[in-house]
Amino acid sequence: MAVPVTILCGALGAGKTTLLSQLLEQDDREIAVVVNDVGEVNVDADLVETRTDLETGEEVVALENGCICCSLGGDLSRAVVNLWKRHDFDALVVEASGVGEPEPIAHQFVRGPAGGPYDLDAIVTVVNARQFSDTFLADGTSEPPTQSEPDEAGTRPLSDLLLEQIEFCDLLVVNKCDLVSETELGAVVDALEALQPRAAIHTTSYGDLAVDTVLDTGLFDFSVAREAAGWKRAIDGDDGHSFYEHDHDDSDNDPDDDDDHDHGLHHQDDHDHDHDGHDHARDHVHPLERYGIVVDTYHRVRPFHPERLVEFLEHPPDGLIRMKGLTWVAGREEQAITMSLAATETSLEVTGRWIASFSAQQQETYRASQPDLPWDDTWGDRETRLAVIGHDLELDPLFDRLDECLVTDAELEAGPERWSTFENPTPTAMNRTVVVSSAERECW
């Protein structure tokens, strides 16, 4: 019988080890633990090792000086397979580092060598309520806490990594709730629901939870997990959750163009949502708004001017928690760029090519395989489609600011030849990333 695996994620200081220690003390089963730190001294492994019930303690495998989901990925698979061969135990917990992404770890237990002896039970992300509130929900007047460990690659915003941990998980443990007010906690929980509507949420202080709320939950479903993030559901027009039942009107993709380019979204209502500065009607308030959490989608088929876009990203509005999706930038007519804004830091990464940038024959092949793909006669499939999640954020002024970053009518008419002369810091090569940080406020 396969051994159930729980992956424990969360930022440094969130309380992962405290939670794990509590679970080990409560559970009378034999639980093996793999701990990963990126520092020179693996303190967490020492803490956990004293609490394991396995005979020698060597089953606490500490993978130091790297992240188990990247440079030491092979070591993780080898470590857990060897562990299974040498010892009998009832469950495995993998405590990831504060800078670890959960999806690559999950891959090793679903499609890697570890997928044979193990069965991935759940991905659990621990969130420091105080830290999350200060980082993502503050009004900009207070400085968010700093992260003690830098991102090893030097390019990925750590706030973005935290949201990745939240968006790819099955269970969210909101820890250190004693450090926030009831209102602050309500806003944190609502924001987490917007970011990951599929996940169960438990609130606690000092990691005090019953074992059965974290272990042996049976919550993991890889096919669902990848599509479950709130930004992804907002873009895809998911209708399974009531707080997305509001106006995502994409019919006005250009501020001055009335053509409909729905691009496959299934909207649930037809409220007028004109982004031309005229009627900004919104007659639906979804449940999340009781704590000021809003979710919407920004969609245009006109490119951003790169300089104006970067200027916006350097001065985003307070309350913008998350903005993520595909972005079309003038001067990058081949590159489909994924924008990922987390609070006040944004990564821009080339993640593919627009179909319209391929040869006519290749375009025909792709379009034949995707008959529902909307296609503009001039620009093909190029578009910007961004999910927006905010706190006490007025969406219409935000969308107006984004519209001001688009190329003007004259610039649009000038075309790509003119666009190539723009100063353009956005990336050009596949998997290359550019990070834009806010000039107003440092975000960890």
> In the structure, how many helices (H) and strands (E) does the chain have?
14, 13
Q: Which residues contact 374 (CB under 8 A, 6 or more apart)?
A: 261, 262, 263, 264, 381
Q: CA–CA separation, 249 vs 262, rounded Å?
A: 8
pTM over 0.85: no
**How many Cα neighbours within 13 Å face the side chain of 13?**
12
Which residues are CB-neighbours of 354 under 8 A, at least 6 positions away? 328, 333, 334, 335, 336, 380, 381, 382
Beta-strand (E) ranges in 37-175?
61-63, 91-95, 118-128, 171-175
Written as six digits, the tokens of 383 are 């578009």
DSSP 81: H
Q: Where are the domains of the chain?
A: 3-228, 237-437
Per-residue tens of pLDDT for the chain, all 444 residues: 899 999 999 988 899 989 998 899 888 889 989 887 665 556 677 777 777 766 666 667 777 656 665 556 667 888 888 889 888 999 999 988 776 778 888 888 988 888 889 999 999 999 999 999 998 887 643 443 343 333 334 355 677 788 889 999 999 999 999 999 999 999 999 999 999 988 999 999 999 999 999 999 999 987 787 677 777 777 776 433 322 222 323 333 343 343 333 322 222 222 233 333 333 222 333 446 667 888 899 999 999 999 999 999 999 998 999 999 999 999 999 999 999 998 778 999 999 999 999 999 999 999 999 998 889 999 999 999 999 999 889 999 999 999 999 999 999 999 999 999 999 999 999 988 999 988 543 333
**Which is nearest to 93 in space by CA: 68, 74, 128, 129?**
68
- Helix H or strand E segment including 293: strand 293-300
Dihedral angle sign, alpha carbons of residues 310, 315, 316, 322? positive
**What is 237-437's CATH superfamily?**
CobW-like, C-terminal domain (3.30.1220.10)
CATH homologous superfamily of 3-228: P-loop containing nucleotide triphosphate hydrolases (3.40.50.300)
